[in-house]
């Protein structure tokens, strides 16, 4: 794994930035995570997860909308890493995203931190909710 790598994927309504550093991968999602945008994000996201360290943080602060396809993208990321002892922490979800995670039960399946900074510092620490 290289010392520091950045990648930006921009679509019409959504985007993703990957920032890989020793010990972690920071994935910043932005815009609308829906049936129109997730197919374009899925490939680059899953490719990044194939070659990552033990700690992945997904920054949700820029997500303005999320439907079932967006949730499926997050669940798919979790499935691809769970068998390899890689932790995925969701960071800084907006109130509507936090509510969606809670209502669907995914708030219990993921570790959620209030900020990206907290998520990067937490490592694989105990589960915490953003609420």
Q: What tens digit of pLDDT does each residue of 15-72 get?
A: 999 998 887 899 999 999 999 999 999 999 999 999 888 999 999 999 999 999 999 9
Share of the chain above pLDDT 90, in %: 69
Residue 127 belongs to some domain of the structure: no
Residue 72 belongs to some domain of the structure: yes
Residue 79 belongs to some domain of the structure: yes
Residue 92 belongs to some domain of the structure: yes
Residue 129 belongs to some domain of the structure: no
Residue 130 belongs to some domain of the structure: no
CB 3 within 8 Å of CB 22: yes
Residue 21 belongs to some domain of the structure: yes
| pLDDT greater at residue 127 or residue 81 | 81
pLDDT of residue 2: 46
Res 3 pLDDT > 70: no
Q: Average of pLDDT values for 124-130?
A: 40
Note down the domain range covering 74. 5-122
Domain at 117, CATH number: 3.30.750.24
Burial class (CB in 10 A: 0-12, 13-18, 19+), 10: exposed
Q: Based on the structure, what is the number of domains in the chain?
A: 1
């Amino acid at each position: 794994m290289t010392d520091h790598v950045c990648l930006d994927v921009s679509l019409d309504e959504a985007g993703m930035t990957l920032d890989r550093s020793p010990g972690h991968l920071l994935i910043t999602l932005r815009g609308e995570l829906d049936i129109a945008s997730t197919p374009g994000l899925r490939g680059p996201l899953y490719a990044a997860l194939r070659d990552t360290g033990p700690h992945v943080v997904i920054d949700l602060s820029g997500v303005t909308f999320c439907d079932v396809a967006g949730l499926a993208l997050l669940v798919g990321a979790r499935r691809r890493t769970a068998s390899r002892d890689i932790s995925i922490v969701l960071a800084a979800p907006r109130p509507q995203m936090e509510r969606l995670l809670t209502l669907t039960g995914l708030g219990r399946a993921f570790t959620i931190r209030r900020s990206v900074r907290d998520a990067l510092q937490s490592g694989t620490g105990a589960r915490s909710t953003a609420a």
